[in-house]
Amino acid sequence: MASQRGEGDLTTPLEPADRERARAIPEAAVARLAVYLRVLSGMADQGVTTVSSEELSTAAGVNSAKLRKDLSYIGSYGTRGVGYDVEVLVSHIERILGLTRKHSVAVVGIGNLGHALANYGGFPGRGFPVTALFDVDDDLVGVPVGGIPVNHIEDIQRVCAEREVSIGVIATPPPAAQGVCDRLVSAGVQCILNFAPVVLQVPDNVEVRKVDLAVEMQILSFHVARRADEAANDLVNGIGVDGMVIRP
Amino acid sequence: MASQRGEGDLTTPLEPADRERARAIPEAAVARLAVYLRVLSGMADQGVTTVSSEELSTAAGVNSAKLRKDLSYIGSYGTRGVGYDVEVLVSHIERILGLTRKHSVAVVGIGNLGHALANYGGFPGRGFPVTALFDVDDDLVGVPVGGIPVNHIEDIQRVCAEREVSIGVIATPPPAAQGVCDRLVSAGVQCILNFAPVVLQVPDNVEVRKVDLAVEMQILSFHVARRADEAANDLVNGIGVDGMVIRP
DNA sequence: TACCGCTTGTGAACGCATGCACAAAGTCGG
DNA sequence: CCGACTTTGTGCATGCGTTCACAAGCGGTA
């Protein structure tokens, strides 16, 4: 048990054992870890010190076995017969997710969405300070939004370097997205969160996550349609909408 | 070829063959179909009439085999040796995704994000008109946002019924989310898009999709950390940051 | 008409993620 | 100190999704 680590030390960030684990964590599990972390933080705020996999999993909306497996990816920090120490788990997940380091965020495209993002003011969950804003519109340049003055998009490279931006958020109209993305990449940004409904082309060393409202809506639409369809289907098969069989 | 269907006819929406297929489409494939649809629409606008799986797949950022399999879920609409007719594919995907019907959207929580969403004015991709806005703040009630006056949250049930809302969007602060969700559900809304960082509890017949910025950021953070870690690891193993071996 | 080249559609193999079920391991009460 | 109870951690089986590879099918050409 020779662990316990300082904050954001980039040269020796994790013990070798943890390091190999970090490689092996499935993407899906990483997303859930973030959810567990939020639930755990809430519990810690309420003074809860210990939690079982059963409690935590229901609060996070997953299967308890899945939860335990997810936690096992990052090591064994529970006590059999008791559960998990909330504080320990929180700090351990934070370390695995790299949250001991601050991640400076730049938002590009200060339209409606960009405004909303900038005004979140330090992203939800903290640890993600927005330190730079960009837009093409000269009228916006210099105007402070959420306390930060907007820079012109031409200055991306310089400003991102100065402020050590590690995450770029693209909130531009679709046609501008790829160009902005290219600039962010050439400015050394390796992680991009893309709100524009465009498939971005990036080099292998850059990580892109996309948030696509249109796609989300259309997935919901699909389910509406499927349901309406099943209902119609059941009707012609003699089953009423309430599940009662009409013609037995 | 006894197909071709009218618009949003809820009683006989799909041919039996299509109906069974719709059940079987994997969730992941549905999400990609929405992406294909967008790419195809763009192509159609540029006058492209035919596209091969290879072209379409690279434009959509996926493997060509995956694309063909995805399309096979919705039927065989390609021509061997030639490719797919863009128009045919567009209208077929639209039908499968249920986009021949308009889906009325309600946004709850008119803060920064709610404003941004309301102002999108008919959601990206069209076919998702925002027809109702809600907030608890009395000062907001009656104020038009994006052309639609805000209603008080107490009136959700009545207004949603009147305007036949089929999709509810939750953009409230976290503590309010579950309450709002419950009201939407009791108002008969069966599809919810949740922007609040909360795990919603809903009955089985309700479909929830969540957009969680904090989680997205944390996933990116994880990759930043993993990368920094690999770099450190490679350094101690004698591999420089540019991939060159220092001590062979 | 018969051949050739191109592209689709899909059977089959593979790999990843999920869920089950249980042994291991710890606590607590007597 | 021991035994009963609780909860973790994980080996294993199952199912889903992705990828490969190729036969089937179509248009163009001679």
Give the nucleotide at minimum CA-to-C1' distance from A84. Answer: D8
Q: What is the pLDDT of residue B165?
A: 96
User: Which residues of chain B make contact with A128, given a CB cutoff of 8 A?
Assistant: 217, 221
Domain boundaries, chain B: 16-96, 105-211, 219-248
- Whether the CB of A17 is below 8 Å from some CB of chain B: the reply is no
Contact yes or no for B197/B173 (Cβ under 8 A):
no
Q: What is the identity of the amino acid at A237? A: N
* Percent of all residues in chain B with a pLDDT value above 70, rounded to a whole number: 82
CA B148 to chain CA centroid, Å, is 23
Q: What is the pLDDT of residue A96?
A: 94
φ/ψ (deg, to 5) at A242? -90, 5
User: Which residues of chain A make contact with B127, given a CB cutoff of 8 A?
Assistant: 221
How many Cβ atoms sit within 10 Å of the Cβ of residue A80? Answer: 6
The burial of B158, by beta-carbon neighbours within 10 Å (0-12 exposed, 13-18 middle, 19 or more buried), is given as: exposed
Q: How far is the C-alpha of A224 from the C-alpha of A221, rounded, in Å?
A: 5
Q: What's the rounded mean pLDDT across residues B80-102?
A: 95
Q: How far is the C-alpha of A62 from the C-alpha of A36, rounded, in Å?
A: 10
Q: What is the pLDDT of residue B15?
A: 52
Tell which A residues from 215 to 244 touch B, by Cβ distance under 8 Å: 215-230, 232-233, 235
Closest Cβ–Cβ partner in B10, B31, B112 for A115? B112
Q: How far is the C-alpha of B164 from the C-alpha of A58, rounded, in Å?
A: 32
Closest Cβ–Cβ partner in A99, A193, A225 for B98? A225
Closest Cβ–Cβ partner in B25, B103, B222 for A221? B103
Task: Give every CB contact of residue B112 below 8 A, 6+ residues apart in sequence.
Answer: A115, A116, A119, A120
Q: How far is the C-alpha of B114 from the C-alpha of A213, rounded, in Å?
A: 13
* Per-residue pLDDT tens over the stretch A150-166: 999 999 999 999 999 99
Tell whether the model's pLDDT for residue B143 goes beyond 60. Answer: yes
Place of tokens 């998990």: A84
Q: What is the pLDDT of residue A126?
A: 77
Q: What is the pLDDT of residue A22?
A: 59
* Residue A13 tokens, joined: 């960030």
Contact yes or no for B203/B189 (Cβ under 8 A):
no
φ/ψ (deg, to 5) at B51? -145, 145
pLDDT level of residue B17 (50, 70, 90 thresholds): low
User: Which CATH number does B105-211 carry?
Assistant: 3.40.50.720
Q: How far is the C-alpha of A204 from the C-alpha of B15, rounded, in Å?
A: 43
Q: Contact A229/B13, CB-based, under 8 Å?
A: yes
Q: How far is the C-alpha of B222 from the C-alpha of A73, rounded, in Å?
A: 14
Which stretch of A243-247, B7-11, B117-121, B123-127 has the lowest confidence by average pLDDT?
B7-11
Tell which B residues from 66 to 85 touch A, by Cβ distance under 8 Å: none
Place of tokens 């799909």: B14
* pLDDT tens across the length of chain A (248 residues): 333 333 333 333 455 555 555 568 999 999 999 999 999 999 999 999 999 999 999 999 999 999 999 999 998 889 999 999 999 999 999 999 999 999 999 999 999 999 999 988 666 667 899 999 999 999 999 999 999 999 999 999 999 999 999 999 999 999 999 999 999 999 999 999 999 999 999 998 999 999 999 999 999 999 988 887 777 766 666 554 444 444 33
Residue (of A189, A120, A111, A190) closest to A157 by Cα position: A189
Sign of the alpha-carbon dihedral angle for A233, A236, A237, A241: positive
Question: Helix or strand or coil: residue B43?
Answer: helix
pLDDT level of residue B218 (50, 70, 90 thresholds): very high
Q: What is the pLDDT of residue B161?
A: 95
Q: Which residues pair with A105 in a beta bridge?
A: A130, A167
How many Cβ atoms sit within 10 Å of the Cβ of residue B49? Answer: 12
Which stretch of A191-195, B202-206, B234-238 has the lowest confidence by average pLDDT?
B234-238
Tell whether the model's pLDDT for residue B244 goes beyond 50. Answer: no
Cβ of A168 near strand D (under 7 Å)? The reply is: no
Q: How far is the C-alpha of A166 from the C-alpha of A8, rounded, in Å?
A: 14
Q: What is the identity of the amino acid at A36? A: Y
* Residue A12 tokens, joined: 């020796």
Question: Helix or strand or coil: residue A106?
Answer: strand
Q: What is the pLDDT of residue A121?
A: 64
Contact yes or no for A171/A163 (Cβ under 8 A):
no
- Please give the mean pLDDT across all residues of chain B: 86
Residue (of B193, B212, B218) closest to A211 by Cα position: B212
Question: Helix or strand or coil: residue B16?
Answer: helix
Question: Which class is B16-96 in CATH?
Answer: mainly alpha
Q: How far is the C-alpha of A98 from the C-alpha of A92, rounded, in Å?
A: 10
Q: What is the pLDDT of residue B23?
A: 63
Q: How far is the C-alpha of B19 from the C-alpha of A237, rounded, in Å?
A: 14
In whole angstroms, C24 C1' to A83 CA is 15
Q: What's the rounded mean pLDDT across residues B153-177?
A: 96
Q: How far is the C-alpha of B143 from the C-alpha of B148, rounded, in Å?
A: 8
User: Which residues of chain B make contact with A106, given a CB cutoff of 8 A?
Assistant: none
Q: What is the pLDDT of residue A181?
A: 98
* Per-residue pLDDT tens over the stretch A111-168: 999 999 998 866 666 789 999 999 999 999 999 999 999 999 999 999 999 999 999 9
In whole angstroms, C4 C1' to B52 CA is 20
Tell whether the model's pLDDT for residue B63 goes beyond 90. Answer: yes
In whole angstroms, D3 C1' to A69 CA is 30
Contact yes or no for B26/B13 (Cβ under 8 A):
no
* Per-residue pLDDT tens over the stretch B20-59: 555 689 999 999 999 999 999 999 999 999 999 999 999 9
